[in-house]
A and B are shown apart, each in its own frame.
Chain A
Amino acid sequence: MLMNRVLAATLTVFLCFFVYLLFTTASGAYILWSLDELIAGIILATIIGLVSFKRLVKRDLRMANPLRWILALAYFLGPFLFSMAKANLDVAYRVITGKIKPGIVKISPDLKTDLGITLFANSITLTPGTLSVDVDEETNELYVHWINVKELHPTSQQVAGSFEKWVRRIAE
């Protein structure tokens, strides 16, 4: 347990330092950074990381696995971007023709963690045609505003395609 907390704090400090480096590129001669910025970055990242790691790491360290981040990248560049492009063209068609059939439907994805349901709801909102309106925090059911209702009581497969499967692999 103590080991886990030390690991969580260390990872948070490294994450803070990485973000600080992103913000201060092109400041000097050490590859892209100056010595001043590196020292200030280490000090600030240590303070902020130690203060905030309990907020970042809530339950366990499952997101520290780099395989999950590679999967997340593959998900955003692959199926997510593709369905976003497809759905944008669909909404473009609806904007021009005015053919809509809106409604709020309920779906029950089989996701348990906060991160999973957040990722799933944001994916749904970002693909045009669907907009998550509310979430039932006890049962994790999502209420989705659908611009073209094809099915009055749909499964999450019909609303969001393969998103649920991907999100489960990334975040749970």
Chain B
Amino acid sequence: MDWWDVAMMVFLSIGAFFNALAAVGLLRFPDVYTRLHAGTKCTTFGTIFVCLAVILFGVRLWIYESDAYSILTIHTFIALVCVLLTNPTGAHAIARAAHRSGVKPARAVIDELEKKEGK
């Protein structure tokens, strides 16, 4: 076991921890908005680390084995960029759709958007 393995294990552990946390948050939070917080962002952060582990794996094989493994590294990187772009967009779309169909944020101390839509 060399330092590549150690780094990959650390990244995978962090990623798995945050993805598990997202699952717990999904069960614990009261309404769609707070669940979106847990369900989209912790998974983004977790996925960054899981992807980093795969990228490290690919880079090691790229250096020591053959150029064919560059495809693993670069495709994982592209997937990571796509996750980073689409995840907040999806969360935004769900939140907006929920508010437009009349779902009130639970236990909210203030709702400025309702004031605006009420006008």
- Chain A residues proximal to chain B, CB less than 8 Å: 22-23, 25-26, 32, 84-85, 87-88, 91-92, 94-96, 98, 100-106, 121-122, 125-129, 131-134, 136, 143, 145, 147, 149, 152
User: Chain B contact residues (Cβ within 8 angstroms of A): what range?
Assistant: 35 or more
Contact B33 A102 (CB under 8 A): yes
Using a CB–CB distance below 8 Å, which chain B residues touch chain A?
18, 21, 24-25, 28-31, 33-34, 36-38, 40-42, 44-45, 67-71, 74-75, 78, 84-85, 87-89, 91-92, 95-96, 99, 105-114, 116
Interface of B is mostly: helix
State the CA gap A144–B103 with chains docked (Å): 15
Complex Cα distance A104/B28, Å?
Answer: 20
B37 CB contact (under 8 Å) in A122, A128, A136: A128
Contacts of A92 in B (CB 8 A): 18, 21, 42
Q: Which 8 A-B pairs have the closest CB atoms?
A: A125-B88, A128-B41, A106-B112, A103-B110, A95-B25, A122-B88, A103-B109, A143-B113
